[in-house]
Amino acid sequence: MHGNEILKQATNFNRSQSNLLVVVVLTAINLFLFITGSDMQFLFSASIPTVILVVADSFSWMMGEPSIWYGGIALAFGSVGIYLLCWWLSKKRRVFILVALIFFSIDALVFLFFFFDSLMYGFFDLFDIIEIAIYAIIMYHLIIGTVAWAKMKKMEPEDFAATRAAWKNLKQNNDNEEE
């Protein structure tokens, strides 16, 4: 693999990691907002943690058992923790970007299930279309990150880290020249 191709793949992988971290942050904030009873939420968050909280809230209320609610909170944040763990581990073991893609694909299917289910009952929300677009963008970046991982599979982690460092230095030099 030539220098420019290596830098392109490193850039794609970095973007993939960054998008994964955005999923973690937005989902964690939205979970916190849901738990505190806020009327506000960010437009996007992973669906599975939210579904876990909604189900736990419903069962806790129906059964009169607050431990179900607390268990739901733990499970919801645990599912976000899987994404965070994949992000962190992908820094040394690039295969974890593929693991994140698999989990995110399952999450997207859960979102689509509820989206189409609500359409069948006549509920349509424009924000759902925007959320589908955001899912598509994040999915795209996770896919190109996985492709980058596959293309650089034969590179050693030290070479990959050196390539990323060289890319950052090149970018800083270009930024300094523009000033």
Domain ranges of the chain: 3-167
**Stretch 65-91: mean pLDDT:** 94
Backbone φ/ψ region at 45: left (φ over 0), alpha (ψ -120 to 50), beta: beta
The region of weakest confidence among 27-31, 73-77, 150-154 is 150-154
pLDDT at position 1: 56
Q: Where are the beta strands (DSSP E) in 42-111?
A: none
pLDDT at position 151: 84
CB 48 within 8 A of CB 66: no
The region of weakest confidence among 77-81, 125-129, 151-155 is 151-155
Alpha carbon 20 to its chain's center: 4
Using pLDDT thresholds of 50, 70 and 90, give the confidence band for residue 20. very high
